[in-house]
């Protein structure tokens, strides 16, 4: 797969899923809903204050009476929990952030009674279409886990692999990123990368191929890997970049976007259902791409 448009086209239209949008009165979100509905990607449950949703829908020419769109009226303070409850009660399959802050949505996702807490950690999985590259590439985790432990990295890796598997990567190549490509006891990221590699080889991490530590250049460029004498199935061909800290991922994410002009789809994985947690500044196009990735990540 070499484009996010291809990701959108691969969504199963024979089994339409429902997306619950928390506090849906947001123009860019409703533009994405409109485009997704036109492309028959999903049905939508728009949660929040009816009057505000109707006003925003009118501004973007979204017909709220069309089949596949339903309103669930509630106060803004209840919107996140009501959207999460809709998924927990099997009335929807994906939670999408609307005009609401991330903290409030995640609080609802982790609610003990109605939430969608999974067995491991929640993590951010981004899929980039970078101009000049012949395939898409995943990056994790740039939004949730600040300095993950080895155990948390296992969960983050498994979350990303699960998303990739469901999106069409049968055995994605995972590169645990460090500053160097050799194990250095003074650099914990290299030790964790080596352990993750060994865990994969012994079948403790499945559904992917892991090799590391790898520096960024060795992970994504075959010539750079060859120059360093690195010979592996992952080096130069990474599908998933697993980074050691949130600062590394955040810098890479924004470098892809601002320097390379990349397009992105992103979800929060690790809960019982995928969560579309795009920025309020993201375009409707990015939100549609993220919806497509989330819809392919559903398990029910």
Q: Which residues pair with 276 in a beta bridge?
A: 96
Would you say residue 99 has pLDDT above 70?
yes
Mean pLDDT of the chain: 94
Would you say residue 119 has pLDDT above 90?
no
Crossing angle of helices 150-167/188-201, nearest 10°?
Answer: 50
Q: E strands along 223-287, which residues?
A: 240-242, 263-269, 275-276
Q: Using 50, 70 and 90 to split pLDDT, how confident is the model at 254?
A: very high
Single pTM value for the model: 0.94
Q: How far is CA 136 from CA 105, 248, 256, in A?
A: 28, 19, 12
For the stretch 143-202, pLDDT in tens is 899 999 999 999 999 999 999 999 999 999 999 999 999 999 999 999 999 999 999 999
DSSP 8-state symbol, 182: S
Q: What percent of the chain has pLDDT above 90?
A: 89
Distance CA 286, CA 276 (A): 11
Q: Using 50, 70 and 90 to split pLDDT, how confident is the model at 279?
A: confident
Q: Using 50, 70 and 90 to split pLDDT, how confident is the model at 40?
A: very high
- Is 273:94 a contact under the CB 8 Å cutoff? yes
Sign of the Cα pseudo-torsion (25, 28, 31, 37, in order): negative
Q: Using 50, 70 and 90 to split pLDDT, how confident is the model at 71?
A: very high
Would you say residue 1 has pLDDT above 90?
no
H helix or E strand, kind and range, residue 124: strand 123-129
**Mean pLDDT value across residues 271-285:** 86
Q: Using 50, 70 and 90 to split pLDDT, how confident is the model at 237?
A: very high
Domains in the chain, CATH or no CATH each: 4-118+271-297 (3.40.50.10950), 123-258 (3.40.718.10)
């Amino acid at each position: 797969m070499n484009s996010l448009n291809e990701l959108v086209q691969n969504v199963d239209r024979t089994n339409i899923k429902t997306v619950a949008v928390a506090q849906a009165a947001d123009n860019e979100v409703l533009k994405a809903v409109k485009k997704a509905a036109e492309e028959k990607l999903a049905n939508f449950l728009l949660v929040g204050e009816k009057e505000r949703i109707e006003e925003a829908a009118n501004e973007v020419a979204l017909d709220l009476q069309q089949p596949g769109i339903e309103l669930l009226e509630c106060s803004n303070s209840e919107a996140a929990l009501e959207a999460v409850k809709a998924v927990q009660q099997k009335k929807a399959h994906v939670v999408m952030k609307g005009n609401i802050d991330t903290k409030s949505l995640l609080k609802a996702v982790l609610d003990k009674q109605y939430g969608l807490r999974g067995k491991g950690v929640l993590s951010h999985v981004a899929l980039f279409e970078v101009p000049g590259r012949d395939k898409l590439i995943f990056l994790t985790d740039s939004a949730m886990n600040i300095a993950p432990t080895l155990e948390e990295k296992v969960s983050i890796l498994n979350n990303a692999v699960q998303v990739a598997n469901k999106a069409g990567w049968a055995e994605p190549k995972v590169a645990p990123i460090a500053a160097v490509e050799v194990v250095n006891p003074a650099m914990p990221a290299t030790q964790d990368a080596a352990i993750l590699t060994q865990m994969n080889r012994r079948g403790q991490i499945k559904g992917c191929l892991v090799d590391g530590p790898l520096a960024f250049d060795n992970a994504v460029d075959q010539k750079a890997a060859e120059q360093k004498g690195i010979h592996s199935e992952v080096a130069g061909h990474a599908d998933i970049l697993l980074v050691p800290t949130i600062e590394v991922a955040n810098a890479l994410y924004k470098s892809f976007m601002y320097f390379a002009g990349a397009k992105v789809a992103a979800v929060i994985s690790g809960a019982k259902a995928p969560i579309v947690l795009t920025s309020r500044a993201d375009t409707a196009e990015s939100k549609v791409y993220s919806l497509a990735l989330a819809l392919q990540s559903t398990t029910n």
